[in-house]
Amino acid sequence: AFLHGLPGVDRVGADQRAAMLGTRSIKTTAKARAIDLAISMVDLTTLEGADTAGKVRAMCVKAVHPGGGAPRVAAVCVYPDLVPVAVAAVAGSGVKVASVATAFPSGRSSLEVKVADTALAVAAGADEIDMVIDRGAFLSGDYLKVYEEIVAVKAACGEAHLKVILETGELVTYDNVRRASWLAMLAGADFIKTSTGKVSPAATLPVTLIMLEAVRDFRDRTGRQVGVKPAGGIRTTKDAVKNLVLVQETAGEDWLSPDWFRLGASSLLNDLLMQREKLATGRYAGPDYFTLDS
């Protein structure tokens, strides 16, 4: 009843506001600061069936030392079995290790398996857990099941932070995105996350806008701040800057920090580094100047 009592989302208004904010232009010094801030917010990610320990180690080196004096990224995100590799590779650097869990990306498994999956990743040293909700349960109106699963996974996280993936591309409506955001926060999420990156559309600006409004309103109502992580389809510096503008204009400066806003991506970092090099030297460095991430 509470979730359905939330105000409905004006779809046209949300689309128009996100489009308008996406046209904001940031120049010179402000752009340089925005690029470094975006780099510091990246969750550098590899979530492929062909992932190897070597690939994860190489990604971790880049996460810690992106190159050119750029700041380190916020975290690396890997499958649970590769958490020990990532933990060893980033030790002492300040880069967090995140792991997907709970039968990622489908979420189709028993609660016992989801909790065990989470516990194993945390025991291996994961600082953060990215869980997926049961979209089937949510879309059929079984909100209590979704709530109880998030509560159980949050308990299994212990000291690790919990990011709850809504998979907004499967939620059909903006109203559902708002309801799922509130449901996850009420159940104890530390972050709400748009997508697994395996479903299209992923992190659209209107969806991120709705989630930012949700965390803002949730803090106003409860006093607890929750982070937001758009993930999937964020590939260019322009995409990243649009998201930062969205944060500033919707939730406010309190969220302009890696503690409260992340960008889930695999190929974004290279474009940020290329644009950073161009601002610093006046010369555009091609993609072959940087290591490949995907």
The catalytic residues are 130, 193, 229
Q: Would you say 164 and 170 are in contact if contact means Cβ atoms under 8 Å apart?
A: no
Q: Would you say 84 and 124 are in contact if contact means Cβ atoms under 8 Å apart?
A: yes
Q: Rounded distance, CA 167 to CA 196, Å?
A: 6
What secondary structure letter does DSSP report for 5? G
Amino acid symbol at 122:
V
Best CA proximity match to 128, nearest among 168, 89, 101, 167? 101
Q: Rounded distance, CA 40 to CA 174, Å?
A: 29
- DSSP annotation string for 12-54: HHHHHHHHHHTT----HHHHHHHHHHHHHHEEEE---TT--HH
